[in-house]
Structure 1
Amino acid sequence: AWGIDKAAHEAALGRTGSSIAVLGTGIDVPYPRANTRLYDRMAAKGLLVSEFAPGTPALRENFPVRNRIISGLSLGVVVVEAASRSGTLITSRLALEQGREVYAVPGAALSGQSLGCQELVRQGAKPVFAPEDVLEDLAGPLRDFGVQADHLTREAAERRRRAEAEGTGLSRTLFACMPPETDTPPKADPGNGEERPTQGAGDTDTAAPSPAQDTIIPLLREQGPLHVDALGAALGRSPAELAPVLLGLEIMGRIRRLPGARYEAV
């Protein structure tokens, strides 16, 4: 993606020499194409992972379902920004189900992009105010990967103190590798077929919808809440085939999951 995902991968490649990307497309489909150079660097020095068949295009429902692999590969998930109905919150739920740690940056009290983070903290997620908070909390598991306590250097502690003294917190420490907010992602050129880059792990506005998405919403509006098996029978699809489509629609806020594996249109 164009935003923090890209910045994180570039920083990891520059500092540790490696990074892992879980794709929402086939392994041979860079998306967005504006990041093809980063894709090539990771193929050479890092790792690209995809559960989708080669040639699979960027479909909206594939992105949220792949996030369960991202959280599953991780020791913990740090939620930097999330609106109250952000798809990131579903990724956090998946992380909890997988027994992973969940952290959240509380953010400004009145910021709409921090409401989801604040709700996570209320539900028990660990608040994060500096990168060292995560490293210290995961010191035990990280020891198995060769990361020792003394790697929290005096320089890192000094950087944290400076950030706190300046009142900028994570904006100076955690986001040091991110581009300025004034940077505008390049838009698509209709003449060359380029997609407009996405904004985050779950942002897939430029991805094509699937045919199933176009039939589920009208069906739920006509018949009311339905069990996933009833949906599958009506659409001629198995529950396993519908799972990623339903998850994608849930993240987009078009359907709501009810107790008992039932779904309703929003």
Structure 2
Amino acid sequence: MNATPHLRTWLTLLRTPRFASVSLREQLAIHGGIDAVHAALLQRLAELPPDTRGWLERPDQRRLDADLAWLEHPCHRLLLCTDEDFPPQLETIAQPPIALFVAGDASLLLRPQLAIVGARAATLAGRTYAGAFAEDLGHAGFVITSGMAEGIDGAAHLAALDAGLPSVAVVGTGPDRVYPRQHHALARRLAAEGALVSEFPPGTPARVDHFPRRNRLISGLSLGTLVVEAGLQSGSLITARLAAEQGREVFALPGCIHNPLALGCHRLIRDGARLVETAAEIVEALAPAAVAMGRELAGRLDRSALPAPGATAFEADPSRQALFDALGYGPVAFEDLAGSTGKAVSDLTSELLMLELEGKVEALPGNRYQRLPGY
């Protein structure tokens, strides 16, 4: 990313004390651009709090230079709310972020995501369940999103990555900091094979109040949130509550009544969360929302950046072309597709979901599929 004066202005305002994202969004709506917002603030410095005024008058240029140096890395990006590919699902949440610092593949934020969260002091069984669900849901086409914490979060990230699938971590520090410290190796893998996301600028340390803010992004990015293990005081219950408030699905795994880490999940189920025992139940519940999300994105993004209908999306992938050919032009049962293509059930489910998201295939009653007109 080029170190333009325009970008330096963004970074200056993102670091301005007492100037929250909501305020910055309001000013953008009034003035129409970041440079105009900055100019307007400079004109009324006397009205601003002392620390806000002091920063705007004398911003720390070395800190801004360090931010720009971080952004010079080819896999680092400042994703702005004014960018066409800013994740639209975040626009509808309370206190939407104004910008996101991303290390890794920012396009993953536009794919259907499933959050898996739970206890830091998880049991071995809980970590095993988290990993199994992460792998199955990843193969079904969902990007696994979590907070890179110990326990359930880390197990979900690792299972996805070990299966060759991407994963997204939303962190409560700057994108260049690792918390907890023992997850340095995991953070490197996430940046290389998935994405690390933060609304805090580089160098920001972990603070207690950062994690509820992080949790609203985990749930807001995701179509649904699965809680695997959680005590009654678990921060995962905050994520689940935020997901429900954001209109997202909440899923919970039941557990032994004698396990204190099952009590939070049981409370969620009593309060209306879906009790689930298999990943297939989650896929079934979220598939319509995933398809709707794909159609919304297709309308939002520049169509010139998308593959030409019916051709180039498959030419680079003979496996997907074979599936498209097997679909023919009439409804085809899932088991017939599995037999004719020789694909594993998990791979076939994932590819069909992606074709639905691209608007090329429609799922029909009776576990059947067919091409949509024009493809």
> What band does the TM-score fall into relative to the shorter chain?
0.5 to 0.7
Give the share of equivalent positions with the same residue, in percent: 52
2:63 alignment counterpart: none
Superposition pairs for residues 1-266 of structure 1, below 5 Å? 1-143=149-291, 150=334
Q: CA deviation at 1:42?
A: 1.4
TM-score, normalised via structure 1 length = 0.52
User: 1:88 is aligned with what amino acid?
Assistant: S
Q: Per the alignment, in what secondary structure is the counterpart of residue 8 of structure 1?
A: helix
Question: 1:150 Cα deviation (Å)?
Answer: 5.0
TM-fit CA distance, 1:14: 2.7
Alignment RMSD, CA only? 2.6
In structure 2, C-alpha distance between the alignment counterparts of 1:65 and 1:150, rounded to whole Å:
42
Q: Give the AA of the match of 1:64.
A: P
Aligned length, in residue pairs: 154
Q: Deviations over 1:57-87 (max 9, x none)?
A: 1112212221000000111011111222322
One-letter amino acid of the counterpart of residue 244, structure 2? L
1:138 is paired with a residue whose SS is: helix
CA distance in 2, matches of 1:122, 1:75: 21
TM-score (normalised: structure 2): 0.38
Q: CA deviation at 1:16?
A: 4.5
* Equivalent residue number for residue 188 of structure 1: none
Summarize deviations over 1:168-212 as a string: whole Å, max 9, x none. Answer: xxxxxxxxxxxxxxxxxxxxxxxxxxxxxxxxxxxxxxxxxxxxx
Of Structure 1 and Structure 2, the greater helix share is in 2
- 2:94 corresponds in structure 1 to none
**Whole-angstrom distance in 1 between the partners of 2:177 and 2:215:** 17
CA distance in structure 1 between the partners assigned to 2:230 and 2:190 by the alignment: 27
SS in 2 for 1:39: helix
The residue identity in structure 2 corresponding to 1:47 is A
In 1, distance between residues paired with 2:334 and 2:150?
Answer: 34
The Cα offsets for residues 208-245 of structure 1, whole Å up to 9 and x where unpaired, read as: xxxxxxxxxxxxxxxxxxxxxxxxxxxxxxxxxxxxxx
Change (3 A) 1:154 1:41: closer
> Aligned partners of 1:145, 1:18: CA distance in 2, in Å?
18
| Cα distance in 1 for residues equivalent to 2:246 and 2:282 | 18
Change in Cα spacing, 1:112 to 1:124, as seen in structure 2 (3 Å) is same
Query: Matched residue of 1:129: which SS?
Result: coil
Asked if structure 1 preserves the Cα contact closer than 8 Å seen for 2:152 and 2:229, the reply is: no
Gaps of 5+ in 1: 157-266
Aligned match of 1:162: none
SS at match of 1:7: helix
- How far off its partner does 1:24 sit? 0.7
Between the aligned partners of 2:238 and 2:172, the Cα distance in structure 1 is: 16
Counterpart amino acid of residue 71 in structure 1: S
Distance 2:238 2:153 in 1: 17
- CA displacement at 1:9 relative to structure 2: 1.1
Corresponding residue number in structure 1 for 2:146: none
- Tell me which residue corresponds to 1:190: none
**Amino acid corresponding to residue 45 of structure 1 in structure 2:** E
Q: Distance in 1 between matches of 2:236 and 2:166?
A: 24
Q: RCO (CA 8 Å, sep 6+): is it higher in 1 or 2?
A: 1
- For residue 155 of structure 1, report the CA deviation from its aligned partner: 6.3
Larger radius of gyration: 2
